[in-house]
Amino acid sequence: MLDFIVNIDIQVFYFINMTIANNVMDLVMPFITEESNFLYPLIAVCVGIIFLMKRRGLVILLWGGVLIALSDQLSSSVIKPLVDRPRPCHELDLYRLLVNCGAGKSFPSSHATNMFAAATFFGEKFLNRRREFYLVAFMVALSRVYVGVHYPLDVIAGAAIGIGLGIGIGTLADYLGSRYWFLSTEHEEKRK
């Protein structure tokens, strides 16, 4: 059964990495997959959130920082060493590699874990932007397969783990925020 699943995973990898390849996506996907391309816009958004939302915005961002640190360490330092699955660029002969392969392991995708954790958490705090958060998370996850550094199951598992962590930290933030006003991510009126 495991061999059957791995075979399907490899076939879907080839479909995304090679069959649907085109010149436009060859330019866009490496840009999307590189987290440093989003550093300055992310800093600007964080400053804007703090400026517009004051204490509430800062608390939301602090909870988000805790979430990303947790999701990244769980995927990179705990699960990847346990599963020990090589990246496709380390074990397949025929594929397209559009970025540096990296020495790390493949399962789960930390990019997908972190992005879906953030999309879930921030999607609950900013409901009117939930769709955009999930769209960005989906595109980053897809880009990891397209550029040749992850299998589809790596990003699916990363998304599932990230969603679970996002729900968990969101629930913890809401619980602690209801007990301690300075940890609240709710509007001032909702707490009264």
pLDDT above 60 (res 189): no
- What average pLDDT does this structure show over 67-72? 95
- What average pLDDT does this structure show over 76-96? 90
Q: Given pLDDT bands bounded at 50, 70 and 90, which one contains residue 83?
A: very high
User: Which pLDDT score, from 0 to 100, does residue 188 have?
Assistant: 57
At the top level of CATH, the class of 2-191 is: mainly alpha
User: Which pLDDT score, from 0 to 100, does residue 13 have?
Assistant: 94
High-pLDDT (> 70) share of the chain, %: 97
- What average pLDDT does this structure show over 43-56? 87
Contact 143, 186 (CB under 8 A): no
- List pLDDT tens digits, range 131-181: 999 999 999 999 999 999 999 999 999 999 999 999 999 999 999 988 888
Domain ranges of the chain: 2-191
Does residue 108 or residue 191 have the better pLDDT?
108
Contact 185, 60 (CB under 8 A): yes
* DSSP string for residues in 76-144: IIIIHHHH-PPPHHHH-SS----S---SS--SS-HHHHHHHHHHHHHHHHSGGGHHHHHHHHHHHHHHH
pLDDT above 70 (res 192): no
What's the mean per-residue pLDDT of the chain? 90
- List pLDDT tens digits, range 103-137: 889 999 999 999 999 999 999 988 788 999 999 99
pTM of the entire predicted model: 0.89
What 3-state DSSP class applies to 185? coil
